[in-house]
Amino acid sequence: MKRKLAAFLLAAALLPSPRGEACTNILISKGASRDGSTMVTYSADSHQLYGCLYFRPAARYEAGTTMPVYEWDTGKYLGEIPQAEQTYSVVGNMNEHQLIIAESTFGGREELADTTGIIDYGTLIYTTLQRAKTAREAIAVMNDLVSRYGYCSEGESFSIADPNEVWHMELIGKGTRMENGANADRGAVWVAMRVPDGYIAMHANQARITNFPLDDPENCLYSPDVISFAKAKGFYKGSDKDFSFADAYAPADFSALRACEARVWCTFNRVTDGGMERYLDYALGQNKSNRMPLFVRPTEKLSAKEVMWLMRDHFEDTPMDMRHDIGAGGHNMPYRWRPMSFEVDGQEYINERAVATQQTGFWFLGQARGWLPDAVGGILWFGVDDAGTSCLTPIYSSSTRVPECFREGNGHMTEYSPTSAFWLFNRVTNFAYLRYDRISADIIKVIDEVENKNMTEIPAIDAAALKLYENDPKQAVEFLTDYSVNTAQNLFDRWTELDRYLLVKYMDGNVKKEKDGRFLDNGHGRHIPASPDFPGYNEAWQRAVAGTTGDRLKVVEPK
């Protein structure tokens, strides 16, 4: 696997060589990680989501205090629920106890969304992070919230991890409750499977849990009516032991396989040295009966850096590779603009949807390290915009403030802010989309420069924090907060330099010549650049242009 994964990382770094809205999660158990941490990745993919780092400090509330609920996707006010007496500090999708929660929407049966419910999936995540310490506690809190107040979102897959356990949970509502009591059910049906130690899991907008054990609470938890409700609704007929959550509540179609499960296939295939090739027809949407496993054991244990690069995947060197057909334009671009499909002469075609996608608001790799105190052990490697051309920076989950460049309120989707990382990264990435084969390579060099530097620093930061923690835990937290904030702001400054460099180097379709990190002049010392390179377009694009213009562009001898 090391050779296979290394080849992918090299291909991703050398891209110049010959999510509709959706999210992607990878779940890594302790035994599957190189350092013994648990990890969860998340790309929050949406055409309307602004990328920022949420922060909610720990607090105590008087009895009777209520909490307003606003739908995460739309901002719509949904109602109020009782506030907890005590809440925990939350940075992004990780809390002070190293609990991590992420999601991807699978939709499922449309009639099961409860329009009268107060809890949406975003509220479910961030409220649970404020109220739970462990993954098992989180599952219980989530069940309690939806049971009490109703669940108004579509079906969701959740990733839930603490320093010891990683869980894959799938949940869907029970439909709108009628005034006349015609539908007395409320809450949700769900099942949660513990990722076996040494294995990884993944979900990408399609329900993946099929059959599950009914008598193994150590590794499987579920709502008591998950099967009986499906039977009552006519979604399933058969024995309990043969019940499949995914088949009952989110039957797969071509889109579910090709736009969603294909992402899972690609990641599983990379970490198992091609061990998923026999499921390729499933990933291509051709054979839904050839279902992939829920968990796989990677051939070799994975480092945080390797998992980060899995989130930058564009199907390189697979049958879904987007770099080589005419849709890639003249510069091998591994993206396709929305919509997800198009029609020609009555035939529908798809635009591939890889893990890395242009419409990402924010993304992260949460790392829970159980051998360290919670104040030191939790790191949220956080970034904004497209994972393929953005950088992650370490935010310790005990932090008591967030960097200005990631702060909520620093700009939004319809207001540019010059101090916002989201807008800066979008500037750089959208420029790269114009000539992806060349510009992305320069961006990836800086990604590696910054991330490798930060990863090298972390052991020393941990050690210094531990020394402080022995005498004064608050001082240790302040030290880690300062490090997190300053490191993120340094990233912002480095990306500002990169933004300027790329504009100077690639303006007007040219490429200026460089030597030893400096642009060359023409030899006369008057700041006039040396004659630039004119790389033009790739051969596939040239052939396409020649083939569609007939004789109009041919160079001929005049008569």
Per-residue model confidence as pLDDT tens digits over 495-515: 999 999 999 999 999 999 999
Specify the pTM.
Answer: 0.94
pLDDT of residue 16: 33
pLDDT recorded at residue 5 = 53
For 417-463, the pLDDT digits (tens) are 999 999 999 999 999 999 999 999 999 999 999 999 999 999 999 99
DSSP state of 500: H
**pLDDT at position 355 over 50:** yes
Span 303-322, pLDDT tens digits = 999 999 999 999 999 999 99
User: Which H or E run includes 382?
Assistant: strand 379-384
Higher pLDDT, 420 or 17: 420
Q: What's the pLDDT band for 185 if we cut at 50, 70, 90?
A: confident
Q: Any idea what DSSP says for residue 507?
A: G
Average pLDDT, the chain: 94
What is the rounded CA–CA span in Å between residue 108 and residue 247?
10
Residue 456 Cα distances to 211, 448, 453, 538, angstroms = 43, 12, 5, 38
Amino acid present at 154: E
How far apart CA 349 and CA 343 sit, in angstroms, is 6
Q: What are phi and psi of 504, to 5 degrees?
A: -65, -40
The pLDDT value given to residue 303? 98
Mean pLDDT of 528-540: 94
Number of Cβ within 10 Å of residue 526's Cβ equals 7
Does residue 6 have a pLDDT over 60? no
Partners of 380 in the beta sheet? Answer: 366, 395
> What does DSSP assign to residue 156?
E
Least confident of 103-107, 149-153, 178-182, 450-454: 178-182
Confidence of residue 18 (pLDDT cuts 50, 70, 90): very low
User: Is the pLDDT assigned to residue 180 strictly greater than 80?
Assistant: no
pLDDT of residue 10: 43
Q: Kindly indicate the confidence band of residue 231, based on its pLDDT and cuts at 50, 70 and 90.
A: very high
Per the listing, tokens 């109703």 go with 150
DSSP category for residue 122: H
pLDDT at 160 over 50: yes
Whether pLDDT at 176 is above 90? no
Confidence of residue 184 (pLDDT cuts 50, 70, 90): low
What percentage of the chain reaches a pLDDT higher than 90?
Answer: 94
Residue 177 has pLDDT above 90, yes or no: no
pLDDT given at position 22: 78
Shortest CA distance to 29 belongs to which of 212, 201, 169?
201
pLDDT at residue number 186: 82
Mean pLDDT over 254-282 rounds to 97
More confident residue, 181 or 86: 86
Determine the residue type at 279.
Y
User: Residue 7's pLDDT is what?
Assistant: 46
Nearest to 367 by CA among 100, 134, 25: 100
Question: Packing angle between helix 436-471 and helix 473-506, nearest 10 degrees?
Answer: 170
**Does 142 have pLDDT greater than 50?**
yes
Give 381-398 pLDDT, tens digit per residue: 999 999 999 999 999 999
The ranges assigned to domains in the chain are 514-549
The mean pLDDT value for 65-79 works out to: 96
* Burial environment of residue 549 by CB neighbours within 10 A (0 to 12, 13 to 18, 19 or more): exposed
Question: Are residues 139 and 221 in contact, defined by beta-carbon separation less than 8 angstroms?
Answer: yes
Average pLDDT over residues 161-187: 83
Give yes or no for residue 3 having a pLDDT over 50. Answer: no
What does the pLDDT read at residue 167? Answer: 99
